[in-house]
Amino acid sequence: MINIAIDGHVGSGKSTLARGLAEKLNFKVFDTGAIYRGLACAFKNSHYNAVNEENIKDFLKDLDVKIFFEDKLQHVVVCNMDYTPYLRLEEISMLSSQISPYKILRDKVVMLQRSFAKENNCIMEGRDIATVVLPNADVKFFITASETVRANRRYEQIKDKPNSPSYDEILKDLRERDYKDEHRDIAPLKPASDSIIIDTSNMNLNETIDYCLKIIKEKVKI
């Protein structure tokens, strides 16, 4: 199987890049964030009232997680419950952020990621794919862009929505998330030694996709 790892800063465009490359290559994209959100849904529906190490450990015992694709949409099924329709709810996003730092839970997700990569030609994007999850990936990219470019991209996406944050608020949040990602104890955000670093500050999506495709085809016989 051919595996492509994409890591990078929040707002750098790595998720959109992963989907664009998958479309061109006819690969599957493994949405790691969806797995954490699916587990958050299951935890919310469990009898556990507090997020702590003991409860997380007990929650994960004999937990059955399945991933399948339908019309190119990745579904997350936990203990026979398909939580896909609820993954983007704000309360689930917040709970996902609370449970994801626990090592035992991250180990569970890494196991799922590696199992998927063994069975599929796939593109996997996140914060620690090339450094931790798939250190032997065939091609590794680290996507970044300047803080101001990333904040402006986000602002343009949501500025017309009700109660959307200001540009300055988005920039502040982005800086805080960068710091947390780069300084966390477990799997901090950083390029792997053999990652190809791509700054998209002055590149549009199509240019970035074409550039990455050229590199992939040079490294892997597709």
Question: Tell me: the pLDDT tens digits for 34-43?
Answer: 999 999 999 9
What's the pTM value of the predicted model, to 2 decimals? 0.85
Interatomic CA distance for residues 150 and 130, integer angstroms: 22
Q: For the residues 177-189, what does the mean pLDDT come to? A: 86
For residue 222, is pLDDT > 80? no
Name residue, tokens 């465009």. 13
Interatomic CA distance for residues 32 and 15, integer angstroms: 11
**What pLDDT, in 10s, does the model give residues 68-101?**
999 888 999 999 999 999 998 888 988 988 998 8
Q: What percent of the chain has pLDDT over 70?
A: 100
Interatomic CA distance for residues 167 and 134, integer angstroms: 35
Question: What's the distance, CA 168 to chain centroid?
Answer: 25
Kind plus residue range of the DSSP H or E element containing 4: strand 3-8
Q: Edge to edge, what strands does the sheet with 65-70 contain?
A: 65-70, 73-78, 81-82
**What pLDDT, in 10s, does the model give residues 143-180?**
999 999 999 998 998 888 888 889 999 999 899 989 98
- HEC readout, 26-81: CCEEEEHHHHHHHHHHHHHCCCCCCCCHHHHHHHHCCCCEEEEEECCEEEEEECCE
Residue closest to 194 by CA, chosen among 129, 120, 130, 148: 130
Domains and CATH numbers, the chain: 1-27+123-217 (3.40.50.300), 32-120 (3.40.50.300)
Q: What's the mean per-residue pLDDT of the chain? A: 92
